[in-house]
Amino acid sequence: MNNDDFPLITRKAGVELARAKLGIPISIWTINRAMVKGTGPKPVAKYGNKQDLFRPGEFLDWARSLVVSTDR
C-alpha cells in the first residue's frame, strides 16, 4: 500500500463517520451483519488477524446505498 491509500478506518470509525457526515443512524450491528452476508463495504486491508480497514469514501458510499427514497 502507498500513502495515497491512507487514512483507513475501522468498522467502528466508519459507523461514527456515517453518523457525523451523513446523519445516517447506522449501528455497528448493521455493518457486522452486512459483512457476514457479503453485502457490506469491501475492506481494502486488514490489521492483525481480524480488523478490517476501509477507505472512508467507499464506506460512506456504502452507507448512502442503505438509504432509499420514500417517493413512489
Using one digit for the tens of pLDDT, what is the confidence trace for 1-33? 555 567 999 999 999 999 999 999 999 999 999
Q: What is residue 49's predicted lDDT score, i.e. its pLDDT?
A: 83
pTM: 0.84
CB 18 within 8 A of CB 59: yes
Domain ranges within the chain, ordered by starting residue:
3-64
pLDDT of res. 3? 54
Residue by residue, DSSP assigns the chain as --GGG---B-HHHHHHHIIIII-----HHHHHHHHHHT-SPPPSEEETTTEEEB-HHHHHHHHHHT------
32-63 tens-digit pLDDT: 999 999 999 999 999 998 899 999 999 999 99
What pLDDT score does 1 carry?
54
